[in-house]
Structure 1
């Protein structure tokens, strides 16, 4: 069995509760803080993420007859985030009870779903970035290929790749006895799978998508700036926000789990102070990273005028009270903006 480190990617929180190891370090304060903090975090992310992404799904399903490639990507991005956050209440329950009560099947299934949701969310963001690049930079050549058939093929391909990349979590996650209780841990047969898990998370989950975003958007921005449209400044700000938020939210977490991996391989000093700081860093950076799925609906959907108009129209039917100008007042000022070019309209839905 490999050394179990508090790697949040694998949800191995058993180390927070293990007081019987050979290490003389005192982790009681880390355990108390981590447990309370993560339970609150998971609850907030689940509630906000479910509301935001659920609304995206409802709007796109209601207007499914008017969908295009961008809408399909938005829909799957929201589904990916919902799959991701669906696992959080189960891990909150584990943290609060210090025991896994859902059986080994759910242990494997939820771990695999968590990683599949994580990777598919990242991959659909990459697809949306490439789609925007092709539409803006090669509109005439690419437009005929933006069909429902293409969208379906891309969707199936992304989900298959995401599940394949996440397969070790389905296979190697199992129940283990830990301090007279059951824990749901990633326990691969050899260290190679631990290496694979960390590298796949860092390379496919951060470096590749960040590289795609930087390369594509660095080419898109000069083109947009030269366009004579009142939307261009708003689009440029949106592009910068997308890249900056993705980098700021995910980079600290990926660096932390990579350092944890190096520590488990004895590549860096293994002392009480370093170990406790890494564990606390994992908790805090995880809080930042997981919050990104709550922002995806805002970044990719609600900033768009067309989508926001549809969302407000749908909310009019759900929310009781005065309905006059519920959507009209929000868009009266943007009526002139909505007449901008097709390219920027495609970028901001």
Structure 2
């Protein structure tokens, strides 16, 4: 969604300092692409939040995990994530608008009118509306989920590594190796994913809040926001790398996906001394 519906239009806007087109089409693209941008970010962090809560329930509150850790519950969690994302970012559909500006170029000592251009900007009824919405986005859609995830993963780490159930390990070590150790590996991957998301998006969210209240939108503001947004978008590239290097199951599935099946004939000696030939499919890791 980010790559196909957001980046092309906003990259053009960042480079040219002008929106792609005007009219009803330009107005729609201005609202829609900004809306999609916010939805992708918020839905990502809420999905990570749901995963963290789910892992916390399974590992630290297993008594209620049977009721909450079901397919039906998973569909409900997904629906809630997307409903919140769609509703929380809906102000962009109202207050994101096209602004017409006069384009002027300088010729020697004269200023010559060079047509009209468009900017995709926010228009709130008053200054408080923009500040309140930015504070809401920063506090409730970024800081609060990050704080909850930090708490849940902290409790999970305490449960698995700092203060594990010693009695269960001593009574049934095989069960511990079969059940607990795979959970530890999964949690390590999710903690790294959570930290990557938090660190890469923190500069963008923080600078947006600072710029809104400090009113420091100078000539370099657009470039600063573009760089910080690019750092945040890099999270989409980091996640596959994290899964590749830290998740053995992911590595195995990728190998199986790209492996080729080779047909090999094997001569089998039977008990009667006769020789039969049968064909087997041997999977080889050949790229």
User: Higher relative contact order by CA 8 Å / sep ≥ 6: 1 or 2?
Assistant: 1
> What is the distance in 2 between the residues matched to 1:296 and 1:205?
20
> What is the distance in 2 between the residues matched to 1:301 and 1:167?
35
**Residues 185 and 247 in structure 2, CA contact (< 8 A), matched pair in contact too:** no
1:287 aligns with 2:230: yes
1:310 Cα offset (Å): 2.8
* Match of residue 140 from structure 2: 204
> Greater shift after overlay, 160-169 or 189-198?
189-198
Q: What per-residue deviation string (whole Å, max 9, x for no partner) do you get for residues 78-118 of structure 1?
A: xxxx3576311111123344332252112211111111111
After superposition, the CA RMSD in angstroms is 2.9
What count of residue pairs does the alignment treat as equivalent? 233
* Match of residue 265 from structure 2: none
**Residues 109 and 170 in structure 1, CA contact (< 8 A), matched pair in contact too:** yes
* Match of residue 100 from structure 1: 20
> What is the distance in 2 between the residues matched to 1:152 and 1:233?
25
1:304 aligns with 2:286: no
TM-score (norm: length of structure 1): 0.58
The residue correspondences of 1:16-35 to structure 2 (distance < 5 A) are none
1:326 Cα offset (Å): 4.9
2:285 aligned to 325, 329, 339, which one?
325
Structure of larger gyration radius: 2
> What is the distance in 1 between the residues matched to 2:157 and 2:189?
10
Structure 1 residue runs of 5 or longer lacking an equivalent are: 1-81, 265-269, 318-322, 328-349
* Match of residue 263 from structure 1: 214
1:246 aligned to 173, 190, 197, which one?
197
1:181 Cα offset (Å): 0.5
* Match of residue 213 from structure 1: 149
> What is the distance in 2 between the residues matched to 1:132 and 1:208?
18
The residue correspondences of 1:8-157 to structure 2 (distance < 5 A) are 82-83=1-2, 86-97=5-16, 98-101=18-21, 102-157=25-80
Q: By percentage of residues, which structure has more strand?
A: 2
TM-score (norm: length of structure 2): 0.70
Structure 2 residue runs of 5 or longer lacking an equivalent are: 103-115, 170-175, 261-282
Q: By percentage of residues, which structure has more helix?
A: 1
1:301 Cα offset (Å): 7.8
> What is the distance in 2 between the residues matched to 1:301 and 1:124?
20
> What is the distance in 1 between the residues matched to 2:57 and 2:243?
17
* Match of residue 84 from structure 2: 161
